[in-house]
C-alpha cells in the first residue's frame, strides 16, 4: 500500500525495462507467456495546474519565495499575539501580491489548457476491427495503426508501415521540431510497405521491440519481427523509420504508421523544456540587500525591546497609575513577555522589507521586454523577423556582459554556400562563369596556363566510371582526366542527403520523365547548405542528381540517365565527421563514396594525390573557404557480403547499437582512394566587422567557437575583424599529451609577458583544448585572460559549453553571453548567463532554446548597448529606490518609540501602512523603470565605451547601496524631528487654540515623507513623458484626495476611525503647510547640491555624453520614431509606441543635424536598418 502511494506521488516510479514490446494493432499473443506493459495515453499536458491542485500548488510555489514567506510569518504573528498594528496591514499587501501573481499564472495556465484541449481533441483516423475509425487524438493507444493524410501533422510518434508509394517512402518536414524546412525522407520496411490498404494491414501480424522514450530527436533503435507464412522476419528500425509527433507529412497522399510513443512520452513532449532558471546579477544583489535590511529590522526590534525593559526598570514607568497591570500580567513569564515584545516590534517595523518589490520587478521585466520586440532597428525586413524575448528575467543582464562567445557558421556568416574551388586528383580548379578553370599544369598545358573545362558534354561517348586502379597513378591523357572529373562529381552527386523540391518529388518513380528535365528546372533542398551547393555545382558541370526512386539514386550524366542502387547510408555523426553511401553502379560494382572533413578522411586514404590535396585544402582554408574531402572504395563481392552482414547485426542490436555501428563504420571506411576536395564560400553577414569592433570598444572580449578547421577559422577571424593583422597570434594546436600541452601553455604565458605587443590573439583546437581543460585549467585561463581575442576551432558542441563553464566559474565570475544559430549551439546557449539565438538557416532550435532571438549578428550591439544599458539602469534605480523609500517610511516609526516609552504605539494609521507601497508610491517608480532613457539611444549606439560605465554591476555596488540607505535615514530624521520641533512643544497650531494629537503628528510626518520620496523619483527622471507627469503628480494628488475622503466621512463599516477629521484639520493650519514645504525642500536641497557638485567637478562619462547630447540638435528618438520609405510590418506598433511614450509627434517626424555633431554625422551605423537622410527621416 505504502509503495503504491509513493508511486502515485512520483517518489518511487515503477520499474521499467530498457525496451518496450509493442504488438501492432494490439494483437496480443493468444498462447504463451507474455507480460503486458502499461503505456500512457496520447494526451499532451503542457499545463501546470488543475482545478483541484491550483490553490495549494500555487500557494506552495509562491511561499517558497523568502519575502512572501517572511510576510506570512509576520501575518501569523499578528494573528496570534497582541501587536500594535492590525493584521490587515501585513495581510492585505500579502494578499494583493499573492492574488495578482496567482491570477497572472492562472490565466497563463488557462491558455495552456485551451491549447492542450485543442490538440488533444483533434480528429484522427485509426485502424480498428478491419476499418477506419474516426476518433480524437487523445484516444490513440500504443500499438494503434494510424492513418495520416498529406499536410497533416503526425498525432504521435509512429513507425512507418506503408505509404501510397510502392517503395513505402514518404517525405516530412520537421520545422516545428527543429526548425529545418528541408524535406526528410522516411522509409518503411519492405514487408509492410506493400500493405497499402486497411484490409491488407488488418492481416499484419508483427511485433516491434524498441528502446524506451528519450528526448533525442535523431536517435531511435528498434526492430520489427514480422510473421509471414509461419516464418519470422526481423527488420532493423532506425530514425529513418520513425515519424515524430509535430512533424508534417509532405508530398505523400497518405501513410499508415503504428504508434510507439504517445502523449508525454513522444519525443516532442520530452523536448518540452522549461527554461533554465538563470538568475541575473541584479537579482543576486537584491537578495543581498534584503538580507542586510532583515538584519537592520532585527537589530531595531532587539534595541527597542531592550530599551523598553531598561526604561521599565523604574517602577513608575513599569506600572504607571493610569495603566495598572492585571494579576495575570504580573505573574506571566518574563522570557515569554520578552519574546512577545520582540515579535511585536518586529511586526511594527516589518515594512522596512518591501513586499511589493518582487511584484514591481516582475511587472517591469515582463512589460519592459516588449520594447525589444517593438524596436524597428532589430527588425530584419528581408526575412520578416523581429527580435524575440523568450525570457524576460535577464533583461538587465544584457547590460553586464563581459564575454561574448559566438559560433561562426550562420552566426558571423550568412550560411549561404557558393561552390568556389576544388581539387581533383592533385589539380586545383576554380569556378569562373560556370566553367572550371585549372590553376595547375595539365596534360595539355605543361606551362601551367589556365585551361578551361566547360562541361563533359563533348566526351559523352567515353566511359564515365573508372576502376580503382585507374587512379592510383597520375593521368596520362585527356580521357583519364575526364574520367577523374567524372568520378569526382559522381561522388559529389551520390554522397549526400539532398531532396528534390516538392513538385518534382511527386513524380519520382512514376516514369522516365526526368531524363528530359533540364538541370535549371531542379530545385534542391538539403539540411546542410554545403551539400546543396555541391550538388548544384555538379549539376552545372554535367552530372545532375535527378532524385531517389525507392532504393535507386538517379543521376543524369551528359543527358544519359544512370541508376545507382542505394545499398546503405552511413549517416554523418560529429565523432566521425564524415558520411558515406554504398551504391551499386549500373555495371554491377559495389562502391563506397565518402565525404567529410580532411582530418577524418585523409588518414583513412591509401591512394590518390594525398599530399597535393592536403596542400590544396590548406590553401582553400587560408582563403576562408569551407573544405570537404571526397574518397571512394570498391568492394569485392566477398567484402560486401561481410559488410552487409555486420551492418545488419549492428542495426538490429537493441543494446549498445551506437557503439556497434561506430565499429562497423570504422571497419568500412578505410583503405580509401582520395579523389579530391571541395571548397565552398560562406559569406560574412553585413556589419559583422563593425559589430565586433564595437563590442571590443565596450570592453567585451569576443571568443569564436567553431567546428571548422584551423586555417579556415583564422582566415574568417581576420576577415571579420576578430583578429587584427597587427595582433600577435598565439597557437595551441595539435597537442598530443598533457606534458606537451602544459609546456606549450607555459611558453605562451612567457611570450605574452615578454612580447611588447598591445594585443594578443589565441588559436586553440578541440584536441588541445581537451588536454588543457583536463589538468591545466588555471594555466589555460591565465593565457586566455591576457588575450583580447580567442578562437577555438574543431570544437564539439559539449566542448563549447565546457569553455563557457570554465569562464563562468573563474574567480572574477564574469557575465557571459553565447550566440549561435544551430542545434549544435544549444548547449553553449543554455550554459551562458545569457543565450542569444540567431534565426538563421540551420533551423530554429537555437532560437527556441535561447533567452533572446535576433535575425542578424549585427543586432547584438543595439541589444546590448541600448536595451541592456537602459534595462540595467532602470532596474538598478528601481531596487535601490524601493529600499530608500521604505527606510524613509519605517525609521520615523522607530524614532517615535523613544517618545512613547517603547509602548509599541504606531505612528501611522493602519490604512496608510497598508496603502503606502500598494497605491501611494508604486506607479512613479514602475513607469520610470519602463520608460526612463537617461541618455539618447544613438549616443549609446555610437559610443560603445559608455557600456563600460555600467559593467561589473557598478550601479548596485555596496557603495551606491549605502548612499541610498544613508540618504533614506537622513531624510527620515528630517521628517520626524522637523515635525517634532514644529508641534512637539506647542500642539496648538490652529487659530482657535484647538490642539493636535498623535495621529495629526503621524499624518504630518507621512505627508512630508510621501511628497519627498515622490519628488525624489522625479529628480531621478531624465526622460519625461505625459505618463511620467500623470503618475508622479497624480500620486501626490491621489493621496490628498483619498485622505480627505477617508478622514472626512464616518464610514459605517469601520469599527474605529482614528483619522476622522485629522487630515482636514492639518491642512487648515498655515504653519503645517509651511512646515511641509520647508521639510521637503530641506530634504532634497542637499541631494540637488550633491548632484550639481558631482556633475560639475566629477562628471561620469555618461554625464559628459548627456551634456554633449543637450548641445546637439536631436529632435526625436530615431530608433523608436523614424521609419524608412516603405513601412515595415512593425510600423503600426512603432506608431502606437510613439504616442505612448510621448517622444515624437505621430504626424510628423523630423531630425536636424549640426555640422559639428560628433555622434550623428554618419547615421549609416551598424545599428540602423535603413539609411537616413541628413535632414529628414
Task: Give me the active site residues, please.
Answer: 407
Kindly give the interhelix angle for 87-120 and 54-62, rounded to the nearest 10 degrees. 120
Find, among 663, 637, 638, 660, the residue nearest to 649 by Cα: 660
d(CA 291, CA 554) in angstroms, rounded, equals 72
CB 886 within 8 A of CB 354: yes
Backbone angles phi, psi at 597, to 5 degrees: -65, 150
> Distance between CA 526 and CA 499 in Å, rounded?
6
Question: End-to-end alpha-carbon separation of the chain, Å?
Answer: 75
- Round to whole Å and give the CA distance between 838 and 848: 10
* CA angle (459 as vertex; 457, 462 as ends), nearest 5: 130
Distance CA(657)–CA(650), nearest Å, equals 6
Q: Using an 8 Å Cβ cutoff, are 665 and 647 in contact?
A: no
Say if residues 928 and 1022 touch (Cβ distance below 8 Å): no
Distance of CA 268 to the CA centre of its chain: 18
Selection from 989, 1131, 1008, 1002 nearest residue 1071 by Cα = 989
Per-residue DSSP letter, 13: P
Residue 419 β-bridge partners: 680
Please state the separation of Cα 994 from the chain's center in Å: 66
Residue 989 Ramachandran class (φ > 0 left, ψ -120 to 50 alpha, else beta): alpha
Interatomic CA distance for residues 20 and 37, integer angstroms: 8
* Gap between the Cα atoms of 369 and 375, Å rounded: 11
Q: Which residues of 780-804 are buried (b: 16+ CB within 10 A; e: fewer)?
A: bbebbebbbbbbbbbbbbebbbbbb
Residue environment code for 937-973, b if the CB has 16+ CB neighbours within 10 A, otherwise e: bbbbbbbbebbebbbbbebbeeeebeebbebbebbbe
d(CA 1055, CA 461): 109
Return the DSSP state at 595.
Answer: E
CA–CA distance, 1111 with 1118 (Å, rounded to integer):
17
For residue 759, give every residue at least 6 positions away whose Cβ sits within 8 Å of its Cβ, in sequence order, or none: 724, 726, 727, 728, 787, 788, 789
Q: What is the DSSP letter of 668?
A: H
Q: Which residue has the cell 529628414?
A: 1176
Return the DSSP state at 778: H
Nearest Cα to Cα of residue 680 among 536, 895, 562, 833: 536
216-234 burial, b for 16+ CB within 10 Å, e for fewer?
Answer: ebeebbbbbebeeeeeeee
Q: Which residues touch 83 (CB under 8 Å, ≥6 apart)?
A: 77, 343, 344, 347, 348, 904
Rounded to whole angstroms, the Cα distance separating 1122 from 1146 reads 10
Which residues neighbour 1104 within 8 Å (Cβ) at sequence distance 6 or greater? none
Beta bridge partners of 630: 595, 676
Amino acid at each position: 500500500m505504502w509503495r503504491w502511494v509513493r508511486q502515485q506521488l512520483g517518489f518511487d516510479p515503477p520499474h521499467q525495462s530498457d525496451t518496450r514490446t509493442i504488438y501492432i494493432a494490439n494483437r496480443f499473443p493468444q498462447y504463451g507467456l507474455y507480460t503486458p506493459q502499461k503505456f500512457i495515453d496520447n494526451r499532451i499536458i503542457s499545463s501546470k495546474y488543475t482545478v483541484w491542485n491550483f490553490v495549494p500548488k500555487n500557494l506552495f510555489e509562491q511561499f517558497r519565495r523568502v519575502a512572501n514567506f517572511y510576510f506570512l510569518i509576520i501575518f501569523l504573528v499578528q494573528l496570534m499575539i497582541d501587536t500594535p498594528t492590525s493584521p490587515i496591514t501585513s495581510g492585505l499587501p500579502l494578499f494583493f501580491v499573492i492574488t495578482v501573481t496567482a491570477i497572472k499564472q492562472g490565466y497563463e495556465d488557462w491558455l495552456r489548457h485551451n491549447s492542450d484541449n485543442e490538440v488533444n481533441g483533434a480528429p484522427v483516423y485509426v485502424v480498428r476491427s478491419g476499418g477506419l475509425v474516426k476518433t480524437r487524438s487523445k484516444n490513440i493507444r500504443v500499438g494503434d495503426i494510424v492513418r495520416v493524410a498529406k499536410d497533416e501533422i503526425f498525432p504521435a510518434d509512429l513507425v512507418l508501415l506503408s505509404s501510397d508509394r510502392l517503395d513505402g517512402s514518404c517525405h516530412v518536414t520537421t520545422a516545428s521540431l527543429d526548425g529545418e524546412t528541408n524535406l526528410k525522407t522516411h522509409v518503411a520496411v519492405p514487408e509492410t510497405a506493400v500493405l497499402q490498404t486497411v484490409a491488407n494491414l488488418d492481416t499484419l501480424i508483427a511485433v516491434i521491440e524498441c528502446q524506451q522514450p528519450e528526448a533525442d530527436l535523431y536517435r531511435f533503435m528498434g526492430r520489427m519481427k514480422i510473421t509471414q507464412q509461419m516464418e519470422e522476419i526481423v527488420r532493423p528500425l532506425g530514425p529513418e523509420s520513425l515519424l515524430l509527433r509535430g512533424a508534417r507529412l509532405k508530398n505523400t497522399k497518405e501513410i499508415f504508421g503504428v504508434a510507439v510513443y504517445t502523449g508525454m512520452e513522444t519525443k516532442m513532449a520530452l523536448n518540452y523544456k522549461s527554461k533554465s532558471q538563470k538568475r541575473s546579477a541584479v537579482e543576486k544583489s537584491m537578495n543581498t540587500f534584503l538580507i542586510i535590511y532583515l538584519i537592520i529590522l532585527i537589530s531595531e526590534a532587539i534595541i527597542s525591546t531592550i530599551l523598553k525593559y531598561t526604561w521599565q526598570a523604574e517602577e513608575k514607568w513599569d506600572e504607571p497609575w493610569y495603566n495598572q497591570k492585571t494579576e495575570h500580567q504580573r505573574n506571566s513569564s518574563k522570557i515569554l513577555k520578552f519574546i512577545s515584545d520582540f515579535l511585536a516590534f518586529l511586526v511594527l517595523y516589518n515594512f522596512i522589507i518591501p513586499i511589493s518589490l518582487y511584484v514591481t520587478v516582475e511587472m517591469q521585466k515582463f512589460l519592459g521586454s516588449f520594447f525589444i520586440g517593438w524596436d524597428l532597428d532589430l527588425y530584419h525586413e528581408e526575412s520578416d523577423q523581429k527580435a524575440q524575448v523568450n525570457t524576460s528575467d535577464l533583461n538587465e543582464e544584457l547590460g553586464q556582459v563581459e564575454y561574448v562567445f559566438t559560433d561562426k557558421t550562420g552566426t558571423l556568416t550568412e550560411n549561404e554556400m557558393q561552390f568556389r574551388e576544388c581539387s581533383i586528383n592533385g589539380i586545383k580548379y576554380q569556378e569562373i562563369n560556370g566553367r572550371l578553370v585549372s590553376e595547375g599544369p595539365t596534360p595539355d598545358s605543361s606551362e601551367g596556363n589556365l585551361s578551361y573545362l566547360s562541361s563533359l558534354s563533348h566526351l559523352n561517348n567515353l566511359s564515365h566510371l573508372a576502376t580503382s586502379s585507374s587512379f592510383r597513378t597520375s593521368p596520362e591523357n585527356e580521357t583519364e582526366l575526364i574520367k577523374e572529373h567524372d568520378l569526382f562529381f559522381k561522388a559529389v552527386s551520390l554522397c549526400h542527403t539532398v531532396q528534390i523540391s516538392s513538385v518534382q518529388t511527386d513524380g519520382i518513380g512514376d516514369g522516365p520523365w526526368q531524363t528530359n528535365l533540364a538541370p535549371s528546372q531542379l530545385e534542391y533542398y538539403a539540411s546542410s547548405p554545403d551539400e546543396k551547393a555541391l550538388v548544384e555545382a555538379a549539376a552545372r558541370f554535367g552530372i545532375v542528381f535527378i532524385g531517389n526512386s525507392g532504393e535507386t539514386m538517379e543521376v543524369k550524366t551528359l543527358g544519359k540517365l544512370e541508376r545507382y542502387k542505394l545499398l546503405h547510408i552511413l549517416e554523418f555523426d560529429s565523432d566521425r565527421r564524415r558520411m558515406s553511401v554504398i551504391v551499386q553502379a549500373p555495371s554491377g560494382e559495389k562502391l563506397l563514396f565518402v565525404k567529410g572533413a580532411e582530418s577524418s578522411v585523409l588518414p583513412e586514404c591509401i591512394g590518390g594525390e594525398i599530399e597535393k590535396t592536403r596542400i590544396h585544402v590548406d590553401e582553400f582554408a587560408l582563403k576562408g573557404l569551407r573544405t570537404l574531402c571526397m574518397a571512394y572504395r570498391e568492394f569485392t563481392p566477398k567484402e560486401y557480403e561481410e559488410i552487409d552482414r555486420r551492418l545488419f547485426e549492428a542495426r538490429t542490436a537493441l543494446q549498445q547499437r551506437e557503439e556497434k555501428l561506430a565499429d562497423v563504420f570504422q571497419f568500412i571506411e578505410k583503405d580509401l582512394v582520395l579523389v579530391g576536395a571541395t571548397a565552398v564560400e560562406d559569406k560574412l553577414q553585413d556589419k559583422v566587422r563593425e559589430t565586433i569592433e564595437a563590442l571590443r570598444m565596450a570592453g567585451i572580449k569576443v571568443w569564436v567557437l567553431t567546428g571548422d578547421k584551423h586555417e579556415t577559422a583564422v582566415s574568417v577571424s581576420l576577415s571579420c575583424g576578430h583578429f587584427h593583422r597587427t595582433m600577435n597570434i598565439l597557437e595551441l594546436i595539435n597537442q598530443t599529451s598533457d606534458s606537451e600541452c602544459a609546456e606549450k601553455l607555459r611558453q605562451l604565458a612567457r611570450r605574452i609577458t615578454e612580447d611588447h605587443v598591445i594585443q594578443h590573439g589565441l588559436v586553440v583546437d578541440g584536441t588541445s583544448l581537451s588536454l588543457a581543460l583536463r589538468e591545466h585549467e588555471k594555466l589555460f585561463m591565465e593565457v586566455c585572460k591576457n588575450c583580447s581575442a580567442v578562437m577555438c576551432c574543431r570544437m564539439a558542441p559539449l566542448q563549447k559549453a565546457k569553455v563557457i563553464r570554465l569562464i563562468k566559474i573563474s574567480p572574477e565570475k564574469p557575465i557571459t553571453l553565447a550566440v549561435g544559430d544551430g542545434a549544435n549551439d544549444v548547449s553553449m546557449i543554455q550554459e551562458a548567463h545569457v543565450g542569444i539565438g540567431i534565426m538563421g538557416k540551420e533551423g530554429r532550435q537555437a532560437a527556441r532554446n535561447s533567452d533572446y532571438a535576433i535575425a542578424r549578428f549585427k543586432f547584438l550591439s543595439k541589444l546590448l548597448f541600448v536595451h541592456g544599458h537602459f534595462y540595467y539602469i532602470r532596474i538598478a534605480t528601481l531596487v535601490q529606490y524601493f529600499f530608500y523609500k521604505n527606510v524613509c517610511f519605517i525609521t520615523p516609526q522607530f524614532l517615535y518609540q523613544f517618545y512613547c516609552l517603547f509602548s509599541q504605539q504606531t505612528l501611522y494609521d493602519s490604512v496608510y501602512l497598508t496603502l503606502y507601497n500598494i497605491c501611494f508610491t508604486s506607479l512613479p517608480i514602475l513607469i520610470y523603470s519602463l520608460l526612463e532613457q537617461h541618455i539618447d539611444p544613438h549616443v549609446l549606439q555610437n559610443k560603445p565605451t559608455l557600456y563600460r560605465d555600467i559593467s561589473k554591476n557598478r550601479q548596485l555596488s555596496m557603495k551606491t547601496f549605502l548612499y541610498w540607505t544613508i540618504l533614506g535615514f537622513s531624510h527620515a530624521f528630517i521628517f520626524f524631528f522637523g515635525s517634532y520641533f514644529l508641534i512637539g512643544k506647542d500642539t496648538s497650531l490652529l487659530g482657535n487654540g484647538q490642539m493636535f494629537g498623535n495621529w495629526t503628528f503621524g499624518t504630518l510626518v507621512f505627508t512630508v515623507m510621501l511628497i519627498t520620496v515622490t519628488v525624489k523619483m522625479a529628480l531621478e527622471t531624465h526622460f519625461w513623458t505625459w505618463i511620467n507627469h500623470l503618475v508622479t503628480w497624480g500620486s501626490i494628488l491621489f493621496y490628498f484626495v483619498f485622505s480627505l475622503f477617508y478622514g472626512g466621512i464616518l464610514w459605517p463599516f469601520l469599527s474605529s476611525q482614528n483619522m476622522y477629521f485629522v487630515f482636514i484639520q492639518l491642512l487648515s493650519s498655515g504653519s503645517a503647510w509651511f512646515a511641509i514645504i520647508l521639510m521637503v525642500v530641506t530634504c532634497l536641497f542637499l541631494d540637488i547640491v550633491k548632484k550639481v557638485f558631482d556633475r560639475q567637478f566629477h562628471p561620469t562619462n555618461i554625464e559628459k555624453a548627456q551634456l554633449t547630447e543637450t548641445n546637439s540638435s536631436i529632435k526625436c528618438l530615431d530608433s523608436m520614431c523614424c521609419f524608412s520609405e516603405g513601412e515595415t510590418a512593425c510600423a503600426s506598433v512603432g506608431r502606437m509606441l510613439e504616442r505612448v511614450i510621448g517622444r515624437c509627434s505621430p504626424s510628423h517626424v523630423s531630425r536636424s543635424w549640426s555640422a559639428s555633431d560628433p555622434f550623428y554625422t554618419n547615421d549609416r551605423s551598424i545599428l540602423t536598418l535603413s539609411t537616413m537622410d541628413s535632414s529628414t527621416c
